Structure 1
Amino acid sequence: MDAKILYMNGEYIPAERGFISVRSHGFAYGTGVFEGIRGYWNEEQKQVYLFRLREHYERLHRSCKIMRINLPYTVEQLIEHSVELVKRNEQQQDVYQRPVAYKSDEIIGVRLHGLHDDYLLTSEPMGNYVEIGGLRCGVSSWRRIDDNAIPARAKICGSYVNAAFAKTEAIQNGFDEAIMLNHEGHVSEGSAENIFLFQNGELITPAPSENILLGITRDTIIQLAQKELGINVRERQIDRTELYTADEIFLCGTGAQIAPVIEVDHNPVGNGTTGPIGQKLQDLYFDIVRGRNSKYLDWCTPVYSEVASPTK
């Protein structure tokens, strides 16, 4: 079912009325921030669960602060908008929500101060963003944006041109996805995903200083690896050649979910198939996001009031 309703500047309106001006600052200069939020349909419970909704909106507030955007809603109000929008669209399927706060003035001139800010939220049906059964990746010639150029810790609309260059290069070179290095040549992340390597019995992932987005799925994996699998997780610099010697690699993000990597630059990762650690985390993750694991129900915001008990 396509979305019929969206939320824009304090109103729920028909989706066909959801337009911004072609002269708006956010469109011309990319001066906006956004989030990507997934909702998962549980058929047995007849329920949509919005995953880690609070954390997404807390990050949206931080992105707005960096971009000098005045977001006139509290985290609690934003959560209410998300839940209500699924209800109004009568969605009983997996959904993807995109809240966007942006500079809306119709002016020519690059700046962040002294501009009007607007907000919108959409909720659309969505399946897998990337293949979750095994990705073939290439190290990109495009370097990851630097914090002193465009802060990677904020989800800034215009910054995703960097990801688009890397993604298109990867696809046109015959890969499924890109892996990006920072300006020092260390592994940063995928085109729009965080990255983990399993090596010598532990998970390693680039530190926040490597110009990564501080991913919510990344944080989820760190917690699950430590609590559920008893695996040590280290955040550190990762050299490019470690991609060729890792036992397992996987990308993660709200869109990508958990996507194992089976090849990097035509070199097989491990034995060239999904590894056991990535598979265990993927299975655990999909149980949790659909509200089937009672230990992690606090990460799942139910949309509909009537719901059966979780199965675990």
Structure 2
Amino acid sequence: MTMEDRDGFIWMDGEWLDWREAKVHVLTHTLHYGMGAFEGVRAYETDKGPAIFKLEEHTERLFNSTRILGMEIPYDAKTLNQAQREVVTKNNLNSAYIRPMCFYGSEGMGLRADNLKVHTMIAAWEWGAYLGEDNMKNGIRIRTSSYVRHPAHPSLSGAKTNGNYVNSMMALKEALDHGFDEALMLDIDGYVSEGSGENIFVIKDDVIYTPHLTSALPGITRDTIFTLAKSLGYNIIEKKLSCDEIYASEEAFFTGTAAEVTPIRDLDGNQIGQGARGPVTEKLQSLYFDCVHGRNSDFNHWIDSGRCL
């Protein structure tokens, strides 16, 4: 089944459209120039029904991204939050990946955007483990990419923008073509930045390290891991991280809304630790899934529990 040929509904510009009818013109400005912003959000099955994880934080980041781009969303956060709740239930989903996006329409062409309308859409569908169910236990193999992560200021890397992901797609394709599962991208100075769509953490002597947010996207799942690690008594240190330090680490994992908490067993053919999910990663992964499924009352404030019903 292709993404366009499905039953269901998509919210677009304040209206509910049949899934197959939610279309735009081939001269849509964002299709040509890449100016747009989007989010990836997940709803998980809980004992109270589907619940969206950190809904308000994701919507806030969407607004932050559009502000950076100079785009003005014609809806407030309350409206977008409610549409994200409803897109889960209208599509009869117990768990879902939710995709809000803001884009320029086909009102004009050329680099000037002052005559363009900002359109907003929200879709949702079932999407399991982004990097594979088996890899959530066994870990993935990653490759250092020859494509450098865009530097902070010129590419507006703090915004989750459509156009920036060309860089990520090229890095991922290169990794897949060489038999790996994912890419590891470096910054312009040769230090570790992030995966093609994930933040990275490494563990050595029970201390967790992660790169500074210089060129990497400020991940919401990344922030979640900071809190969960602290609750388990671990320290996280942000630093300039080299590939050598990952080679010598005992554990490593990726985080992201799509990737969730995915262990890394190999970088560039060099086995990390025991070559499988390590004990610290397993603890964090287990606690993360307890939180998103509403099984840990200490973190129930993170889930939009019951309001998708």
Match of 2:280 in 1: 277
Report the AA paired with residue 165 of structure 1.
M
User: Which of 41, 59, 62 is the aligned partner of 1:60?
Assistant: 62
Equivalents in 2 of 1:87, 1:259: separation in Å? 28
SS of residue in 1 equivalent to 2:59: helix
1:172 aligns with 2:177: yes
Equivalents in 2 of 1:31, 1:126: separation in Å? 26
TM-score computed with the length of structure 2 as normaliser: 0.94
Match of 1:140 in 2: 145
1:268 aligns with 2:271: yes
SS of residue in 2 equivalent to 1:219: helix
Equivalents in 2 of 1:283, 1:180: separation in Å? 27
Deviation per CA, 1:149-192: give whole Å up to 9, x if none. Answer: 21111110111000000100001101011100000000000010
Could you say what the CA RMSD is over the residues aligned between the two structures, in angstroms? 1.5
Equivalents in 2 of 1:150, 1:303: separation in Å? 38
Equivalents in 1 of 2:19, 2:102: separation in Å? 17
User: Which of 83, 86, 92 is the aligned partner of 1:84?
Assistant: 86
SS of residue in 1 equivalent to 2:153: coil
How many Å apart are 1:244 and its aligned residue?
Answer: 0.6
Deviation per CA, 1:89-123: give whole Å up to 9, x if none. Answer: 2222x210000001113433124444211100001
Match of 1:9 in 2: 13
Match of 1:35 in 2: 39
Q: Percent of aligned positions with the same letter in both sequences?
A: 38
Report the AA paired with residue 83 of structure 1.
R
Conserved? CA contact 1:5–1:85, under 8 Å: yes
Equivalents in 2 of 1:224, 1:69: separation in Å? 34
SS of residue in 1 equivalent to 2:154: coil
Report the AA paired with residue 47 of structure 1.
G
Equivalents in 1 of 2:58, 2:90: separation in Å? 21
Report the AA paired with residue 194 of structure 2.
E
User: Which of 240, 244, 247 is the aligned partner of 2:243?
Assistant: 240
- After the TM superposition, which parts of structure 1 deviate over 2 Å for at least 4 consecutive aligned residues? 105-108, 111-115, 302-306
Q: Residues 186, 16 of structure 1: CA spacing in aligned structure 2 closer, same or farther, 3 A cutoff?
A: same
Conserved? CA contact 1:87–1:303, under 8 Å: no
How many Å apart are 1:86 and its aligned residue?
Answer: 1.4
Question: Which structure 2 residues correspond to residues 159-238 of structure 1 after superposition, within 5 A?
Answer: 159-209=164-214, 211-227=215-231, 229-238=232-241
Match of 2:157 in 1: 152
Deviation per CA, 1:282-307: give whole Å up to 9, x if none. Answer: 1111111011111111111124577x
Match of 1:310 in 2: none
Report the AA paired with residue 110 of structure 1.
L
Equivalents in 2 of 1:46, 1:89: separation in Å? 18
How many Å apart are 1:74 and its aligned residue?
Answer: 2.0
Equivalents in 2 of 1:66, 1:303: separation in Å? 33
Match of 2:73 in 1: 71
Conserved? CA contact 2:141–2:180, under 8 Å: yes
Conserved? CA contact 1:83–1:303, under 8 Å: no
Equivalents in 2 of 1:148, 1:250: separation in Å? 27
Ranges in structure 2 where 5+ consecutive residues have no aligned partner: none
Report the AA paired with residue 140 of structure 2.
L
SS of residue in 2 equivalent to 1:100: strand
How many Å apart are 1:148 and its aligned residue?
Answer: 2.4
Q: Residues 16, 224 of structure 1: CA spacing in aligned structure 2 closer, same or farther, 3 A cutoff?
A: same
Equivalents in 2 of 1:95, 1:275: separation in Å? 28
SS of residue in 2 equivalent to 1:66: helix
